[in-house]
């Protein structure tokens, strides 16, 4: 069954389906079941990363679907990411090959530099202060030349870092993946990307409810009264409203769920539209920088001391 959902066309002609399956924290049989359910209901865009440690499970399921002819390789859009511990030009090829071996694929549709911050190889958080984006990106371009990545791009890079890559690149970044949701709309960064024709993919499009700390003033996004009342009026779920808002803003979304019912729910967002009034009312919920939920500083102690720490400037 071919996926018939809308897709964003990348500069290499690749079609990136507007909804993909986020897989962070999906593991073992649960990951296999969720991916099977997602493929059954029409997902064709799968987003993973070396650090998620689930490429092998994903590879097993994709292999079953591909070898049985239930899906053709050209229908899939598979994304994985260079880990922070591989942020050196000499490590890029090895890291991508390792991902491809686990995914049981000969190429990925998109390979992203996961973070502008580099860590020492095989370390759990020891900063590599020598990170050189220009050199890493050159090695990324070589992966396109070698046919191992159809497209390459960036994740968690700020505006200045993106502009530096644009100055030296031979193959333009095809995508930027960053945290975007109604509380953290990233308007300035999206505007920069629009000017350079770089599509943006929103991670944590539901506002990362597992990590967010709700307050009276700013409840968990899925429970915000503006979102819940809009969803009720439209006969939709809050998650569908939040995803639809981003899709109508030309973003690709990669909601993650380990629940098969919610995986399906998150895909069914193409048979309704938000009015311009509804879009405008969701726009007023933007908390700008304060709306960022994913706190890399708590994940990696001292990460803000890296010279390429991306979140020390407004965008």
The footprint of ligand A2P (CB under 6 A) covers 22, 204-210, 222, 237, 239, 255-259, 262, 265-266
Residue 180 C-beta: closest distance to ligand A2P, Å: 10
Closest contact distance (angstroms) between CB of 264 and ligand A2P is 9
Q: What is the gyration radius of the CA atoms in the chain, in angstroms?
A: 19
Q: How near is the Cβ of 66 to ligand A2P at its closest, in Å?
A: 26
Q: How far is the CB of 167 from ligand A2P (least distance, A)?
A: 33
* 203 sits in which H/E element: strand 200-203
By C-beta, is 142 or 265 nearer to ligand A2P?
Answer: 265
Of 126 and 211, the one with the shorter C-beta distance to ligand A2P is 211
CA distance 59 to 16: 19
Quickly count: other Cβ atoms within 10 Å of residue 38's Cβ.
Answer: 24
Shortest gap between Cβ of 194 and ligand A2P (angstroms)?
A: 23
Residue 93 · residue 143 · CB < 8 Å: yes
Give Cα 83 distance to the centre of its chain.
Answer: 14
CB atoms inside a 10 Å sphere around CB 218? 16
**Quick one: 262 or 288, whose CB is closer to ligand A2P?**
262
φ/ψ of 272, rounded to 5, equals -155, 165
Nearer to ligand A2P, 267 or 311 (CB): 267
Which phi and psi angles does 84 have, rounded to 5°?
-60, -30
By beta-carbon proximity to ligand A2P, the closer residue of 161 and 258 is 258
User: Token pair of 115, please?
Assistant: 């973070």
Q: Which among 43, 52, 137, 183 is annotated as catalytic?
A: 52
Decide the pairing of beta strands 15-17 and 110-113: unpaired
Distance, in Å, from the CA atom of 240 to the CA atom of 221, rounded to the nearest integer, reads 12
3-class SS of residue 54: coil
Contact of 35 with 64, CB cutoff 8 Å: no
203 is catalytic: no
Active-site residue set: 52
């Amino acid at each position: 069954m071919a996926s018939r959902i809308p897709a964003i066309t990348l500069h290499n002609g690749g079609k990136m389906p507007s909804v993909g399956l986020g897989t962070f924290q999906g593991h073992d049989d649960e990951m296999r079941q969720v991916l099977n359910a997602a493929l059954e209901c029409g997902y064709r865009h799968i987003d993973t990363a070396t650090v998620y440690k689930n490429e092998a499970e994903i590879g097993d399921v994709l292999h079953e679907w591909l070898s049985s002819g239930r899906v053709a390789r050209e229908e899939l859009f598979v994304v994985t990411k260079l880990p922070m511990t591989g942020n050196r030009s000499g490590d890029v090829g090895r890291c991508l090959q390792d991902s491809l071996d686990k995914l049981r694929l000969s190429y990925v549709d998109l390979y992203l530099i996961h973070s502008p911050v580099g860590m020492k190889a095989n370390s759990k958080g020891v900063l590599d202060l020598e990170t050189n984006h220009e050199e890493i990106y050159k090695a990324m371009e070589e992966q396109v030349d070698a046919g191992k990545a159809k497209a390459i791009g960036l994740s968690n890079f700020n505006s200045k870092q993106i502009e530096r890559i644009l100055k030296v690149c031979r193959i333009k970044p095809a995508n930027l993946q960053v945290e975007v949701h109604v509380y953290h709309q990233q308007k300035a960064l999206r505007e920069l990307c629009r000017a350079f024709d770089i599509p943006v993919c929103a991670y944590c499009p539901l506002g990362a409810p597992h990590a967010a700390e709700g307050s009276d003033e700013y409840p968990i996004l899925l429970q915000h009264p503006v979102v819940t009342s809009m969803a009720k009026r439209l006969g939709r779920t809050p998650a569908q409203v939040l995803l639809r808002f981003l899709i109508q803003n030309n973003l690709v979304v990669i909601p993650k769920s380990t629940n098969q019912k919610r995986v399906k729910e998150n895909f069914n967002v193409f048979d309704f539209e938000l009015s311009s009034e509804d879009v405008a009312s969701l726009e007023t919920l933007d908390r700008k920088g304060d709306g960022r939920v994913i706190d890399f500083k708590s994940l990696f102690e001292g990460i803000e001391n890296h010279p390429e720490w991306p979140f020390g400037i407004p965008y």
